[in-house]
Amino acid sequence: MIRQIITIAAPLLAPFVIYYIWHWAARRRADAESQGKPLPHWQELPWTWLIISGAALTALVLVLTAVLGTETDGVYIPPHMEDGVIVPGTFER
């Protein structure tokens, strides 16, 4: 059940949650600016550029991992039973 939540529901709901947080922060900032109140220091940071650079770096890592792959010197033997004992998976060279 938790696997389904992580692999299906979380990626589906994440953009909506992020948008809601952004919308809330933007509305709060607009209200503060219209009333002439100074913004807290943390709200003056360049959040948009930080998010864009984080997403770009994540995409770069995913692409490089897909292109370069991982080193596997051999064939993977999955876990199996031998004489009633579970033998863990290994790489056979």
C-alpha distances (whole Å) from 75 to each of 81, 86, 87, 89, 93 are 18, 19, 16, 11, 7
pLDDT given at position 48:
77
Cross-strand bridge partners of residue 82? 85
71 and 93 within one domain: yes
59 and 27 within one domain: no
Number of domains the chain contains: 2
Range of the domain at 79: 46-93
With tokens 């943390």, the residue in question is 42
pLDDT given at position 42:
67
pLDDT given at position 78:
95
Q: Between these two residues, 7 and 14, which has the higher pLDDT value? A: 14
What pLDDT, in 10s, does the model give residues 27-78? 888 888 899 888 777 666 777 778 888 899 999 988 888 888 776 678 889 9
51 and 92 within one domain: yes
pLDDT given at position 59:
92
The pTM assigned to this predicted structure is 0.43
